[in-house]
Amino acid sequence: MLEKTRTFVMVKPDGVQRGLVGDIVKRFEQRGFRLVEAKIMRVDRALAERHYSQHQGKPFFEELVDYITSDSVFAVILEGVNAVAIARSMIGATNPAAALSGTIRGDYATSVEYNIIHGSDSAESVEREIALFFGASDGV
């Protein structure tokens, strides 16, 4: 049996507003991921600042928090083989100008400020972000 792991993905407010949630979920399901838990929610400033604490002090930090808190997001826990690396490769480069066509950012985004989707970047980030967004998750 191939070992399955979890990752955390969040469709950002621009992705939800543009009606891209269904397409994005479909991409992950088609690739072989299983949805463990998912919800539409509003991120408040305290949660946004904790989620992006590694970027505190950077020139884009305030704008990033404004953006993430501006409207609903779609938060999801995915399970699959090599979940973090495969989800990140499907999401594509942070700056859509560098993201390849066929990736989510490469197909739907043009600006680094509004780049549609977040994906955890390490096993430690997965633990931290699932705890932040879903609490002590025991999704089936």
Query: In the bound complex, what is the minimum distance in angstroms from residue 111's beta carbon to ligand RTP?
Result: 8
Determine, following the binding rule CB under 6 A, whether residue 94 of this chain makes contact with ligand RTP.
Answer: yes
Instruction: Pick the catalytic residue from 75, 118, 129, 130.
Output: 118
Count, residues near ligand RTP per rule CB under 6 A: 10
Distance CA 11, CA 32 (A): 18
In the region spanning residues 96 to 115, those forming contacts with ligand RTP, defined by CB under 6 A, are 112-113, 115
Distance CA 78, CA 9 (A): 7
**Residue 118: beta bridge partners?**
10
Which CB sits closer to ligand RTP, 2 or 43?
A: 43
**Residue 101: beta bridge partners?**
103
Determine, following the binding rule CB under 6 A, whether residue 64 of this chain makes contact with ligand RTP.
Answer: yes
Distance CA 61, CA 26 (A): 31
Determine, following the binding rule CB under 6 A, whether residue 121 of this chain makes contact with ligand RTP.
Answer: yes
Residue at token pair 């990752």: 7
Report residue 127 as tokens.
Answer: 């633990």
Annotated binding site for ATP: 12, 60, 88, 94, 105, 115
